[in-house]
Amino acid sequence: MVKIALVQINPVIGDFANNCQKIQSWSEKAMAHGCELVIFPELAISGYPPQDLLERKSFLDAHDAAIGKLIGDLPALDVMFGCFEKRAWLNGKKLFNAAVVARGGRIVFRAHKRLLPSYDVFDETRYFEPGVPSELYTLHDNHFGVTVCEDVWNEEVNEYDTDPVDELVFHAGKNKKTMHGIINISASPFQRHKEEIRLSIFQKISRRYRLPFLYCNQVGGQDSLLFDGHSLVMDGTGTVVAQALGFQEDMIVVDSSCWQGDMHQAPQVTEDAAVYQGLVMGVHDYVRKCHFSSAVLGLSGGIDSALTAAIAVEALGAENVLGVALPSPYSSEDSMEDAKKLAENLGCRFEVLPISELFDCFRHSLAPLFDGLGEDLTEQNLQARIRGNLLMALSNKFGHLLLTTGNKSEMAVGYCTLYGDMSGGLAVISDVPKQLVYQLAAYVNRKREIIPSRIITKAPTAELKPDQTDQDDLPPYEILDQVLELHLEQGKGRDEIVARGFDGQMVRDILRRVRLNEYKRKQAPMGLKVTTKAFGFGRRYPNVQNFQE
């Protein structure tokens, strides 16, 4: 039997030298631990997902050159990693999504991904051709079936007419070979509750075939996607015997003679903790991988900006975060006090830029054209847009990335201002419903008060007119969030939602707002995905349509 290492790395798409250096370095560490096999995630050479870079010949050639150099430099153990491979056939896609094993300066094993997802954020049929069943990977007298990510999700997704794992086991029996385990290399993005779904899938496979299951997943933030790692090994009973940390690079080692190994993952991590850790990782990686070193955001004294600031400080360090209060004539003293106290608690820099004079200048300039018309939403949006301009000026002048602070509930119904509070480079909590914002704020305050209690307890308000609250225009968030989850994440229509006991007119209005504000969301900054259906990359709806549910 052998010692096996699973290494979850945080690649940068297209940074072949950096990605290969990680594989080289971790392989040496694995060898130092006495391992004879080290496993890396799906598309570890290029990073996942490379998208239309796969259509560029120069990208493909650089990828292949990087592999050629890497396999000549690796230490003397088997190294399994994900990459893409060119196809020689004229028909079909030009590439396979592959798992290969390097040994002694050459590729000695390859398996091509069988199931290519094309739902939600995935679009692999655009680039890859499905593989055919592979042989077993053999090391000494140990035989392993090798799969790539989606290949083990057959039953959960229920969109495929083949079961790659079942075929591997069947062919092993037919060839009178004893399988010693199933390996799965993955780039499986994080979302709420996904880890329990994964565990259920993996346990079913382990128990059905009475085989150990080895799962190596990518980690790190890539655009809107968050990869959580949580690589693991199960024995043939479906018991987790080794597990890596979440949201950071890590290596675990397992001994196949007894199927025991490293247990790095802290037990019973709450869902709120996982979401928060994912958002922190996402901000850190997006800022650093885009070659920024600092961030700026507006601090209104409200809970959304408070949570975003807490995430930013943990991700980047307090010295690299600038919080700016931009009070208008309608901003309360309480809000300014709360914003300042938050910045003090976080230890980040805090500045105040009043906008009242600018607001007066705008109204004065527009007065001839607005003569005889009363103030309305236009004047509210002016304040938001003045703030957006000032924050973008600070971003331009000092090289900070501007973080926007709107939550998913607001984004869904358009309770946000184009070129105002939607201005920025990264929408940190745009996939976090309002009720979850409160839960994450409580998580931030789990050890001591960081977000002032008044921010959490006061009624949400944009403070763009006298005595304004969000509930002047919206249903209570605890109701709004339930309707939005049914509609956006579960795909329910108006009648199905009303049948759950919600008021029909309210549901009709919420769905109308969702439909009408698609154009706004198309112009929003990229957001970090934490739910099953986020706005942006994985949600494809036309701006112009008139289907009314």
Residues 445-496 pLDDT 10s: 999 999 999 999 998 887 787 877 878 789 999 999 999 999 999 999 999 9
Which residue, among 235, 102, 106, 108, has the nearest Cα to 181 in the 3D structure? 235
Q: How far is CA 102 from CA 11, 270, 455, 464, in A?
A: 19, 38, 55, 61
Reported as a single tens digit per residue, the pLDDT across 95-152 is 999 999 999 999 999 999 999 999 999 999 999 999 999 999 999 989 999 999 999 9
Strands of 137-139's sheet in order across? 137-139, 142-148, 181-186, 213-217, 232-234, 240-243
Reported as a single tens digit per residue, the pLDDT across 178-198 is 899 999 999 999 999 999 999
Cα distance between residue 294 and residue 12, in whole Å: 19
Given this model, what pLDDT does residue 381 score? 95
CA–centroid distance for 396 within its chain: 27
Is the predicted pLDDT of residue 212 greater than 70, yes or no? yes
Start-to-end Cα distance in the chain:
59
The continuous run of DSSP H or E covering 508 comes out as helix 504-516
Strand partners, 148: 185
Which residue, among 91, 113, 200, 207, has the nearest Cα to 162 in the 3D structure? 113
For the ranges 26-35, 198-207, 256-265, the lowest mean pLDDT is seen at 256-265
Question: Half-sphere exposure of 322 toward its Cβ, with a 13 Å CA cutoff?
Answer: 19
Mind telling me the catalytic residues?
A: 42, 113, 149
Three-point CA angle 306, 309, 311, nearest 5°: 110
Is the predicted pLDDT of residue 31 greater than 90, yes or no? yes
HEC readout, 479-523 = HHHHHHHHHHHCCCCHHHHHCCCCCHHHHHHHHHHHHHCHHHHHC
The mean per-residue pLDDT over the stretch 299-328 comes to 98
Q: CB count, 10 Å around CB of 29?
A: 15
The mean per-residue pLDDT over the stretch 285-307 comes to 97
Is the predicted pLDDT of residue 505 greater than 80, yes or no? yes
Task: Extract the tokens encoding 217.
Answer: 């997943």
149 backbone φψ class: left, alpha, beta (φ>0; ψ -120 to 50): left
Cα distance between residue 86 and residue 65, in whole Å: 13
Given this model, what pLDDT does residue 232 score? 97
| Packing angle of the helix pair 504-516, 477-484 (nearest 10 deg) | 70
- Phi, psi for residue 251 in degrees, rounded to 5: -130, 135
Is the predicted pLDDT of residue 286 greater than 80, yes or no? yes
The continuous run of DSSP H or E covering 509 comes out as helix 504-516
Q: Percentage of the chain with pLDDT > 70?
A: 99
Given this model, what pLDDT does residue 158 score? 85
The mean per-residue pLDDT over the stretch 222-245 comes to 96
Is the predicted pLDDT of residue 1 greater than 90, yes or no? no
Strand partners, 144: 137, 181
Question: DSSP H helical segments within 125-238, as ranges?
Answer: 154-157, 164-174, 194-209
Q: Residues with Cβ < 8 Å from 281, sequence gap 6 or more?
A: 219, 220, 221, 226, 247, 248, 315
Given this model, what pLDDT does residue 513 score? 96
Is the predicted pLDDT of residue 266 greater than 70, yes or no? no
Is the predicted pLDDT of residue 265 greater than 80, yes or no? no
pLDDT grade for 10, boundaries at 50, 70 and 90: very high
Is the predicted pLDDT of residue 509 greater than 70, yes or no? yes
The letter for the amino acid at 93 is K
pLDDT grade for 263, boundaries at 50, 70 and 90: confident
Is residue 119 exposed (0-12), middle (13-18) or buried (19+ Cβ within 10 Å)?
exposed
Given this model, what pLDDT does residue 538 score? 84
The mean per-residue pLDDT over the stretch 421-449 comes to 97
Strand partners, 85: 96
Cβ atoms 216, 6 nearer than 8 A: yes
Given this model, what pLDDT does residue 545 score? 87
Cα distance between residue 493 and residue 518, in whole Å: 17
The mean per-residue pLDDT over the stretch 165-186 comes to 91
Q: What DSSP string describes 5-20? A: EEEE----TT-HHHHH
How much is the mean pLDDT over the chain? 95
Task: Extract the tokens encoding 331.
Answer: 């901003």
Q: CB count, 10 Å around CB of 106?
A: 9
Q: Is 361 helix (H, G, I), strand (E, B) or coil?
A: helix
Given this model, what pLDDT does residue 267 score? 61
Please report the domains of the chain, with CATH numbers, ordered by start residue: 3-267 (3.60.110.10), 274-365+377-470+518-522 (3.40.50.620)
